[in-house]
Structure 1
């Protein structure tokens, strides 16, 4: 693999709702499976992701600005952590987690997954779901392909959040 650079204007933007969105930086196909990276900006209190896990990938969240709330399942139950700018959360494979911007604060997150998977298609589809262009159920058949497995237990961050 050759080194590559993604300038800010080159990163594809996937709009969510309310001013939230993804900047797609590197996908597993570009890094030969080494990692995937995106920058996720969440409006104040906005949902980032409902409860899910990754069977094969470790996911790291670096909080660039603002604060984010994480719900993390573990052997001792589910805990909630609010992480401020400069903080890091590392989620190993198989750990059910959910996250959102902290109430009354936005969050700017650098998200890195390793090993990398061709996941940009998932983020594009998630954008369509969040904008109401497709139903959530459209993502269900793609869980194994994108290594995003939705939890059925109530690990979410609030009412109505998957």
Structure 2
């Protein structure tokens, strides 16, 4: 995380994410109130935007509006470095701490699912994403 909503007066949240070769970033989800922008600093990224899977390379940008399914990952065989901006801002620090606790076995999937409304991060299934990532 670079800036959370509390640091920007609610205007935006921004993070820089580095992904290893072919690594998953975020599973398909929506935000009910926020748009999400993906700017590729380096490498190649796959981004789900609705029912379309985009391949973005260095310098490319995509914006996904509220209520549109999206996900992201490094493209197969590629690493990726990207800047993500969510606007208006959402408190994400605690969300990422929850994900870390889940990975460490200190939180449950149920806790994550119960937090969807709190963090405006609503998980869903995407056949298009599953196909692109298989």
Same fold (TM over 0.5): yes
CA contact (8 A) 1:98 1:155 kept: no
Unaligned runs of 5+ in 2: none
CA contact (8 A) 1:28 1:34 kept: yes
Larger Rg over CA atoms:
1
CA contact (8 A) 2:35 2:65 kept: yes
The residue that corresponds to 1:9 in the other structure is none
The residue that corresponds to 2:26 in the other structure is 49
**Which protein is richer in helix relative to its size?**
2
After superposing the two structures, state which structure 1 stretch, 26-35 or 147-156, moved more.
147-156
CA RMSD of aligned residues (A): 2.1
Matches within 5 A, 1:55-74: 55-73=32-50
The residue that corresponds to 2:14 in the other structure is 37
**Residue 118 (structure 2) pairs with residue 141 (structure 1):** no
CA contact (8 A) 1:98 1:157 kept: no
TM-score by length of 1: 0.75
Q: CA deviation at 1:153?
A: 4.7
**Cα distance in 1 for residues equivalent to 2:34 and 2:20:** 26
TM-score by length of 2: 0.89
